[in-house]
Chain A
Amino acid sequence: MVYRFFNGIGDYALLMWRVFRRPESWRETWKAFWREVDLLGLDSLWIVSIISLFMGAVVTIQTALNLDDPFIPDYYIAIAVRESIILEFSPTMVSLILAGKVGSNIASTIGTMRTSEQIDALEVMGINSANYLILPKIAASVFFNPMLLTLSLVLGLAGGYLAGEWTGMVVSSDFILGLQMGWDPFYISYAIIKMIVFAFLIASISAYFGYTVKGGAVEVGRSSTTAVVNSSLAIIVFNYILTDVLLN
């Protein structure tokens, strides 16, 4: 088990060594990058939007119920909602959702290319297949996921605002006052740093499990599941490390 873990880490490092080489054709890599932005990023807009909107609404209702005390001003609810969404819910929750959606897509696409010899075909042509297939996916995720985060932050806070207004738990003036109170701009940098690290982990770990698959359809399916599980675990572990390093 321990041997397999460290063996896997070694293989992953060697694969990344091949990924971050100079591409044979910058033009083709650039084209692949925009294809991946469309596939991995734009296609995730709707799910991120819906999750963020409802997440913000639920966080507001739960916070309001827990802070239902005449001695605690209502704008404290908005402060708690803001901190929860920016520091934790948006970067971590959205990344975990993307680990499922994008991670399984990456692992199964590359895995199918491996089992149908398309990767061998690239190698025979003299193309660094790891670089051509994986680099655009990592670059697209690292480039676009912070934009998804921004969308998630805005919609999460909007969801909180609307829920407070509709349920009557927080009036809009208190919510807006709370959002502005004690604001630290570093929190945005912190959330973006987390999102970039998580984006790299999701794309690279999923690609690793797809690229190293051996066998047929069953193994591709299994690698897709393993990719999601391992990406999620890596996000949880790195979430702890980054929180400790950046906020402590």
Chain B
Amino acid sequence: MIEVKGLRKSFGEHEVLKGIDVNFEPGKANLIIGRSGSGKTVFLKSVLGLHDVDSGDIVYDGRNVAELSKDERTLLRQEIGMVFQGGALFDSQTVLENVMFPLNFFGDMSESEKRDRADFCLSRVRLDSAHNRFPAEISGGMQKRVAIARAIAMNPKYLFCDEPNSGLDPETAIVIDNLIQEITEEYNITTVINTHDMNSVLEIGDHVILLKEGYRAWEGTKDEILHSEDEAVLDFVFRSELFKKVKEALRK
């Protein structure tokens, strides 16, 4: 479980996160939604420790990040997998080398064990035929799957995804969403996903947090969001014609 308490973060005079409290439970897909500029990415990077926060606590299963030594933080990071918006695969390495990369740094596996683990992770994301290709030679959807395979290579307890299906067609986006949910449930991972894709919310939103102007504006499940009359939810979710019609249908 990840507990975030009173998280604040500013860049100069501009306060992006204005005291956010939220808990992320294991085995669930926790989705953070909100408009562009609402602070989603800053929030995710702050929880990951890529940004120094102004105040607040981030607690990973009882371990407060602020109180950890450098070595303890390094150990904690080995329990974290991250899928970046653009995949962030290493251009100069093949798909297989990308997935083996964290295994080369940490752990004491032999070469064949590392290879087996990478093969397993790639087959888990249903990517069995691209081992020796470079990231530039595969499609965006395949890159996202490689990024997921690399993120789960170290058996993470926590999985973070920053807009994992941005730039993908709806069909591939659903495949990626379902893959993340399957992995989350199968390995009981605490998964946190940044998205503004409402299809993802309705597909896998076990726990949804809506950020608005640096505040937590709403929290609930994918079923609750459809029936919510909260102003922030109505303003963000039911803005498109499609969702307006959905809402009207639900009200009837």
A interface vs B, CB < 8 Å?
24-25, 27-28, 112, 116-118, 120-121, 123-127
Contact of A24 among B80, B90, B91, B106 (CB under 8 A): B106
B84 touches A117 (CB 8 A): yes
A121 touches B82 (CB 8 A): yes
Cα A124 to Cα B102 with chains together (Å): 10
B88 touches A126 (CB 8 A): no
B105 touches A25 (CB 8 A): yes
Contact of B86 among A25, A27, A116, A124 (CB under 8 A): A116
Most buried by A among B50, B73, B85: B50
CB-CB under 8 A from A121, the residues of chain B are 82, 84, 88, 90
B77 touches A117 (CB 8 A): no
Contact of A117 among B86, B91, B105 (CB under 8 A): B86
| 7 sampled A-B residue pairs with Cβ under 8 A | A24-B74, A116-B88, A117-B85, A118-B88, A121-B82, A121-B88, A124-B80
Chain B: minimal CB distance from A206 (Å): 18
- Nearest residue (CB) in A for B102 is A125
Contact of A126 among B74, B84, B85, B90 (CB under 8 A): B74
CB-CB under 8 A from A28, the residues of chain B are 104-105
10 shortest A-B CB distances, which residue pairs?
A126-B77, A117-B88, A121-B88, A124-B82, A126-B74, A117-B84, A25-B105, A126-B78, A118-B88, A125-B102
B 82-103 contacts with A by CB, 8 A? 82, 84-86, 88-91, 101-102
A120 touches B50 (CB 8 A): yes
Cα A120 to Cα B82 with chains together (Å): 10
Instruction: Decide if B48 is an interface residue (CB 8 Å cutoff).
Output: yes
B interface vs A, CB < 8 Å?
45, 48, 50, 73-78, 80, 82, 84-86, 88-91, 101-102, 104-106, 154, 160
Chain A: minimal CB distance from B51 (Å): 10
CB-CB under 8 A from B80, the residues of chain A are 124
A120 touches B105 (CB 8 A): no
A124 touches B77 (CB 8 A): yes
CB-CB under 8 A from B45, the residues of chain A are 120
- Decide yes or no: A120 and B88 within 8 Å by CB, A125-B77, A126-B77 being known contacts: yes
Contact of A124 among B48, B75, B85 (CB under 8 A): B48
B105 touches A127 (CB 8 A): yes
B50 touches A126 (CB 8 A): no
B50 touches A123 (CB 8 A): yes
Chain B: minimal CB distance from A115 (Å): 9
- Nearest residue (CB) in A for B89 is A118
- Nearest residue (CB) in B for A120 is B50
Cα A124 to Cα B150 with chains together (Å): 12
- Nearest residue (CB) in B for A124 is B82
Chain B: minimal CB distance from A133 (Å): 11
Most buried by B among A118, A121, A123: A121
Chain B: minimal CB distance from A207 (Å): 16
CB-CB under 8 A from B76, the residues of chain A are 126
CB-CB under 8 A from A24, the residues of chain B are 74, 105-106
A120 touches B84 (CB 8 A): yes
- Nearest residue (CB) in A for B82 is A124
Cα A120 to Cα B88 with chains together (Å): 8
B90 touches A124 (CB 8 A): no
Cα A120 to Cα B50 with chains together (Å): 7
Cα A120 to Cα B90 with chains together (Å): 11
Cα A123 to Cα B48 with chains together (Å): 10
CB-CB under 8 A from B104, the residues of chain A are 25, 27-28
CB-CB under 8 A from A127, the residues of chain B are 105
Cα A124 to Cα B158 with chains together (Å): 11
CB-CB under 8 A from A116, the residues of chain B are 86, 88, 91
Cα A24 to Cα B77 with chains together (Å): 13
CB-CB under 8 A from B154, the residues of chain A are 125
CB-CB under 8 A from A27, the residues of chain B are 104
